[in-house]
Chains A and B, each alone.
Chain A
Amino acid sequence: MVLNPQQEEFRERVALRQEGGVTAGAPVRQTSLWKDAWHRYRANKAALIAAALFIVLLLYVTLAPILSPYDPYAVDFAQAYLPISWSHPLGTDQYGRDLFTRVALGGRVSIGIGFAATIAIMGIGIVYGSVSGFLGGRVDNALMRFLDALYGLPYLPFAIIVTQLFQTVNFWVMVIALTIASWFTAARVVRGQIMSLKENDYVRAAHAVGARWYRVLGRHLLPNTLGVLIVFVFLELPGVILGEAFLSFIGLGINPPQASWGSLAQDGRDVYLSHPSMILIPSIAIAWLILCAFFIADGLRDALDPRTRET
C-alpha cells in the first residue's frame, strides 16, 4: 500500500496520540487584536514610511537640543544670518542663534501643544459624547442641542480671545486656546460610536450578567471605540498643529524667546527674499509632521477596522 504524504502525516499524528504524547490537531497560534493590527499596518508601505519619518522627527526634536553645542537663546549679532554649513546645518537667525537647535526646540513646543490639545479634545469629547450616547433619551437630546448651539461658534476668534485673556501666553494657555472650541466634533464622533455600539448583543449580554452601568460603558463600550479614536487623534492632530502655527505666525502664539514652528516662520517672513531658508525650514517641518500624521491615520484606519481583516 502506497501512502501519500498527507496520509502519512495523519498516521503519524494518530500514532503519537495513541502513545499519549501530543493531543490531536495543530497547536493553536496565540495572537491578539493588536498583533493582527500591526500585521495589517505593516502591509501599508506609505503608512510604514510615514511612521518611520515621524519617529525620526521625534528623535530630532528631543535629542538635537541636548546634543547641540549652542545656547539657543544667546544673542550674537556677529553670527546673524549665517548660511547653511557644517557647523550650522540650518544656518542662524537674525540674532545669530543656531537654527538647527531652535527648530528642534520649536518642534517640541509645536508637537507638544499639538498632542496635549488633541488629548484634551479627546478627553472632553469622550466624556461628553459617551454620557450623551449612553444615557440617550432626554439627556442626549439636551446635550446635543447645546452642542449644536456651540457648533456655530467660530474656532479662531475663540482661540484668539483666550490668548488675550492671559498676561503671558505659555504652553498651557495655547492648549486651552486650541481646545476650547475644537472638541465638538470629537464629542459627536464618540456619541455616534456609543449609540451604535450599545445596540450590540454583547452589551445586552453584559447587562444580563448584572454588570453595572459604569462597567458596561468603561469595559464593553469604550474599548470598542478605541480604534476609531486612535484614528481620530491622528486626523485631529494636523488641524491643531496648523492652528497653533497660524496663531504663532500672526504673533498671538507662545511668548518669545520661546519659539514654535509658527513663530520661527514669522521670523523668516521679513527676510524671505534675502534668506528664504528661514521661512522654508519651519514650513517644511510643519508639512513633514502633518503629512506623516495623515498617512499614519490612513494606515491605522485600515489596520484597526475589523472589516478589513483578512489575516
Chain B
Amino acid sequence: MALLEVRDLRTYFATREGDVKAVDGVSFDVESGKTLSIVGESGCGKSVTALSIMGLIPKPPARIVSGSISFEGKDLTELKESELENLRGNEIAMIFQDPMTSLNPTLTIGTQITESLRRHLGLSSEEAKKRAVELLEEVRIPRAQNRLNDYPHRYSGGMRQRVMIAIALSCNPKLLIADEPTTALDVTVQAGVLDLLEELREEHQMAIILITHDMGVVAEAADDVVVMYAGQVVEQASALELFDNPEHPYTEALLGALPSLEGESGRQARLISIPGRPPDLLDPPSACRFAPRCPYANLEDYCTVEQPELRELRPGHWVRSAHPAGERAAVTV
C-alpha cells in the first residue's frame, strides 16, 4: 500500500453558471520516501488537487464531489475538520508558492516556527525555541539564534522559503506537499531550495508531492511524474521514462516548448508553442480534452467523440490518448 492513494478525485467549484470541474477524476499514488511531481499549465487543477488533499479547498464554493484520498489507510475526505487539523502540519505539511506573502508580517519568525511545534508536539515555549533554532540551522539560515526574533520583512525571498520549509518540517511529516515552491524565486536560489528539499527528503524519509509547471524542476527532483491537463491525468510515468519516451502529444508539446541551449539549431530555432487554449472546465467536451489542440487527432477518430481511457502502455507508464507516440510510429511506418 502506498503512503497516499488518490482515487478518482473530483473537486468542483460551484458558480452561477454551474459547476467548474477543476479536478475531474484524478488518481495517483505517492510512495513513502519518493518524490512525485505533478506538472501542467496554469488552471489544470494541480493546486486544487493539492488543496483537496490538505482539506484546504475553500468550501463553499468548492467541494469534493467523489473519490477518495487515502493516507496510511485513512480516507481524508471522510475525516472531521478537527481530525484534519490534527493531521495538518503534523503528518502532512505544505509549502506555498509565494514566500513573500506566506509569512505573517506581524509575528516574529520564531513565533511562526514554534506555532506548529507547540500545537502538535505540545512542547513548552523554551523547548520549542530550541527546536526552532535547530530547524533554522537545518535549512541553513546563518546565525539562527539571533534571527529568531526578527520579523519576516528582514528576510529575503529565498530565506523566507527556507523558513517555510523549516515550518513544514517541524513535526517530521510523512508527506510534504510543495505547491510551486520555487516559482517566485531567482534561478540560483531555486536550485538551492530544490537541493535542500532533496537532502531533507532523504534525511527525514518523507514523501514529497512537488507541484510545478517547470520541466526543469521535474528533471531536478522528481522520481515519478503525473502530467495533468484540464483537470485530468493525461500521462503518468517515472521521470526517466517520461523524458525518454513521452507518449502523450501534450507532454511532447510541453517538452518541445522548452528552450534548448545546445546545438546551433537549438539556438536559432523559435520556441514552439501549443496553439489554442485548454477547454472551458464549466462544460468540458465529451471528447478527448486535448483533441482541439492535438496535431494527430482528425475527425474520423473516436477521440473527437468520446474520451480515451487512461491505459498502461508499458508497465508503470500510463497515458490517456488515442495517439501515443509509440502507436503513432507503428501506424505511419
Interface residues of A (CB under 8 A from B): 23, 28, 30-33, 137, 200-202, 204-212, 215, 219-220, 223-224, 226, 306
Contacts and interface: CB of A to CB of B under 8 A. Distances in A.
B15 to A, nearest CB: 16
Contact of A223 (B56, B90, B106, B116): B106
Contacts of A215: 115, 119
A187 to B, nearest CB: 22
Nearest to A219: B107
22 contacts: A28-B147, A31-B154, A33-B151, A137-B60, A201-B96, A201-B98, A201-B101, A204-B96, A205-B94, A205-B102, A205-B167, A206-B104, A208-B88, A208-B94, A209-B93, A209-B115, A209-B168, A210-B89, A210-B116, A210-B120, A215-B119, A224-B106
B105 interface: yes
Contacts of A31: 154
Nearest to A220: B104
B105 A210 contact: no
Interface residues of B, number: 36
Contacts of A204: 56, 96, 102
Given A28-B143, A33-B106, A224-B104, A209 B88 contact: yes
B107 A220 contact: yes
Nearest to A205: B102
A52 B60 CA distance: 51
Contacts of B97: 201
A208 B56 contact: yes
Contacts of A219: 107, 115
Interface string B110-124: 000001100110000
Interface of B: 54, 56, 60, 85-90, 93-94, 96-98, 101-107, 115-116, 119-120, 142-143, 146-147, 149-151, 154, 164, 167-168
A206 B101 CA distance: 12
B103 A202 contact: yes
Contacts of A30: 149-150
Contacts of B103: 202, 205
Contacts of A32: 151
A220 B103 CA distance: 10
Contacts of B168: 209
Nearest to B92: A208
Nearest to B142: A23
A215 B119 CA distance: 10
Contacts of A223: 106-107
Contacts of A224: 104-106
A211 to B, nearest CB: 7
B169 to A, nearest CB: 11
B242 to A, nearest CB: 29
A206 B86 CA distance: 13
| Top 7 A-B residue pairs of the complex, sorted by shortest distance between their CB atoms | A209-B89, A210-B89, A210-B88, A209-B116, A201-B101, A202-B104, A201-B102
Nearest to B167: A209
Contacts of A207: 56, 88
A205 B147 contact: no
Contacts of B147: 28
Given A205-B94, A210-B90, A220-B107, 16 more contacts: A23-B143, A28-B150, A30-B149, A33-B106, A201-B98, A205-B96, A205-B102, A207-B56, A208-B88, A209-B168, A210-B86, A210-B88, A210-B120, A211-B85, A223-B106, A224-B104
